[in-house]
Amino acid sequence: MKISSNFDSGNIEVLDASNPQQVLLAMRPDLNSHHFQWFHFKVEGLTPGQRYGFSLTNAGQSAYRHAWAGYNAVASYDHSNWFRVPSRFEEGALNFAIEPSAAQVWFAYFQPYSRARHDWLIEQALNKAGAELFATGKSLEGRAIQLLRVSRNPQARRKIWLIAQQHPGEHMAEWFMEGVIERLQKTDDAELDALLQQADLYLVPNMNPDGAFRGHLRTNAAGQDLNRAWQSASQAQSPEVLFVQQQMRAVGVDLFLDIHGDEEIPHVFTAGCEGNPGYSARQEKLEEEFRSRLLALGAEFQTAFGYPRDEPGQANTTLACNAVGMEFDCLSFTIEMPFKDHDDSANPITGWDGKRSMQLGKDVLSVAAAMVGGLR
């Protein structure tokens, strides 16, 4: 058996592979940071039908160590079709086993969104969705951070921003963006037409390419959590955020959505700006309208479960959602998708996955279309 992780978003260390029934593994922390939770590795040389067991021995010390209960790892024989493998969190380790039907299998924390697919997605956006490359930032390690603009009416007044995967292990976020970009390729979409009559879209499909490539959970190559850098972005520590902030200040923002994944909560939910200094009744009404419209259209979404609401004035304004909502006095949300499943419509075979993330992206465009006239 050969175990490898020296590829895009790979992350695993092999501690002891002498017993194929219980291969001992460990997740590697983010560079210059103590966070870890993401894993992604390939196992080759398997005998189909035989049982193999794997143990992530340091799961109990991970960033969200309470998140493993009720979590099942994902696996794939072709790195394209992913399925859940029953997993158990016991004595600080996450254990799962497989009787493979092929000689090789990949395991991951969530269906990975590769850099190769990212490059393809940018091409799709430019060649098929009518997007233009509005600006390109650079990560610390020199990877491109594309800011796409979709502008179909020169008179459109609203600016709608969607950014994804500030947290590099939250791969569902770029799947969501793929859904957005796929819908933008439709030619007979009245909602989309209405939206783009009034608004330009600004899309950043991947905010943290270094972290994603390195198999990080939460930080960039400097060990900086980008979603804590929005009051102190710097070229040295967080050029990824600095780039987007500069573009936002040049363009303006009327609606901001920051796309994330949550390790613990088995539901799709939003987090808003209720704790911001200056949070207004107007913003509150817009937040309520967004949530009720997303519910009403039957999206995989709910409002019963989520983060505790911030007390008035107590928001952490280093977060993108809060910083942008405050600076631009606009509707601003963090959208959270689960690593586990959306229990309101659970699918034990796949759990929450890329396809469902894509659909949510499409559904959110419908809400934006319905609300675009009332954003200001």
Q: Are 261 and 167 in contact (CB under 8 A)?
A: yes
The yes-or-no answer on residue 336 being catalytic is yes
Separation CA 94–CA 300 (nearest Å):
28
Q: Which parts of 222-241 interact with ligand GEM (CB under 6 A)? A: 227
x/- track of binding to ligand GEM for residues 241-260 (CB under 6 A) = -------------------x
**Separation between Cα atoms, residue 314 and residue 311, nearest integer Å:** 5
Task: Spell out the alpha helix ranges (H) of the chain.
Answer: 115-128, 172-183, 190-198, 209-213, 239-251, 281-296, 320-328, 354-371
334 binds, among Zn ion, ligand GEM, none (CB under 5 to 8 A by kind): ligand GEM
Kindly state the tokens that stand for 271: 């987090």
What x/- string results for residues 141 through 180 when contact with ligand GEM is judged by CB under 6 A? --------------------------x-------------
Give the Cα separation of 361 and 113 in Å (integer).
15
> Which of these ranges, 4-12, 153-161, 203-211, 319-327, lies near ligand GEM under the rule CB under 6 A?
319-327
Crossing angle of helices 172-183 and 115-128, rounded to 10°: 20
Output the six-digit token pair for 327.
């600076």
CA dist., res. 137 & res. 192, Å (int)? 27
Torsion angle, CA of 191/194/199/200, rounded to 10 degrees? 70
User: Applying CB under 5 A, which of residues 35, 40, 84, 260 lies at the interface with Zn ion?
Assistant: 260
Segment near Zn ion (CB under 5 A), from 75-83, 100-108, 253-261, 324-332? 253-261
Contact string (CB under 5 A) for Zn ion, positions 152-191, x = contact: ---------------x--x---------------------
Query: Would you give the DSSP letter of residue 154?
Result: T
Which part of the chain contacts ligand GEM (CB under 6 A), choosing from 101-109, 140-148, 314-322, 358-366? 314-322
Residue matched to tokens 């930032």: 137
Q: Rank residues 34 and 376 by Cβ distance to Zn ion and give the closer one.
A: 34
If one asks whether residue 307 binds ligand GEM (CB under 6 A), the answer comes out as: yes
Closest residue by Cα to residue 125 from 200, 203, 213: 203
Residue nearest to ligand GEM (CB): 260
Q: How far is the CB of 327 from Zn ion (least distance, A)?
A: 20
Residue 43 tokens, joined: 């196992």
Kindly state whether residue 30 participates in binding ligand GEM, applying the rule CB under 6 A: no
Catalytic residues: 336
Please give the residue ranges that form the binding site for ligand GEM (CB under 6 A): 167, 227, 260-262, 271, 307, 310, 319, 321-322, 334, 336
